[in-house]
Copies of this chain bind each other. A is one copy, B any other.
Amino acid sequence: MTEGKLHYEDFTPERVFSLGPKTVTAEEIIEFAAEFDPQPMHLDEAAGKASILGGLAASGWHTASMHMRMIIDSFILNSTCQGAPGVEFMDWKKPVLAGDTLSGRAIVLDSRPLRSKPGIGLVRMRTEIDNQKGETVCLAEQIIMFRMRAQQESAA
């Protein structure tokens, strides 16, 4: 049953969803990096301090993945989400360091029906993630697919 869930039609332009907070631990940074991005500045505090990142810093892809979890917990699990075709851009504007607390917002930019799959629509969103100092660490625009409430059946 999807009746009470957020559908395509609910993602109206300028609607804002809060994201986080999520505190990032050194253990999480190292665990992710060991599997997906084993560069010294993501694995070791001293190497991080010696790098231009200035400390043990999360992989950008770890930040991206944490940002996804924040979106999930904010509204995706309570929606008719059908996945996503990609990311229009993602900027890692500041390092995410061990101990940082991340929070932010997802803002609906615009939306349109997906021509190839009747009953599904594309919602373009901007996500902004800040650290505890209010500095933006990650900025992205992406498209997410949702089922429509008034499903249009088609023989196409």
Q: Determine the chain B residues whose CB is within 8 A of the CB of A145 once the complex forms.
A: 52
Contacting B at CB under 8 A, from A62-98, are 62, 64-66, 68-69, 72, 76-77, 81-93
A90 to chain B, nearest CB (A): 5
Q: How far is the CB of A111 from chain B (nearest CB, A)?
A: 17
**Taking A88-B89, A90-B86 as contacts, is the C-beta distance between A59 and B68 under 8 angstroms?**
yes
Size of the A side of the interface (Cβ < 8 Å), in residues, is 39
| Residues B72 and A84 in contact, CB atoms below 8 Å apart | no
Contact yes or no, B36 A83, CB < 8 A: no
Q: Is the CB of A83 within 8 A of B41?
A: yes
With a cutoff of 8 Å between Cβ atoms, the chain B residues found around residue A41 in the complex are 83
Contact status A92-B82, CB under 8 Å: no
The verdict on A61 contacting chain B, using a C-beta distance below 8 Å, is yes
Interface membership of A120, Cβ < 8 A: yes
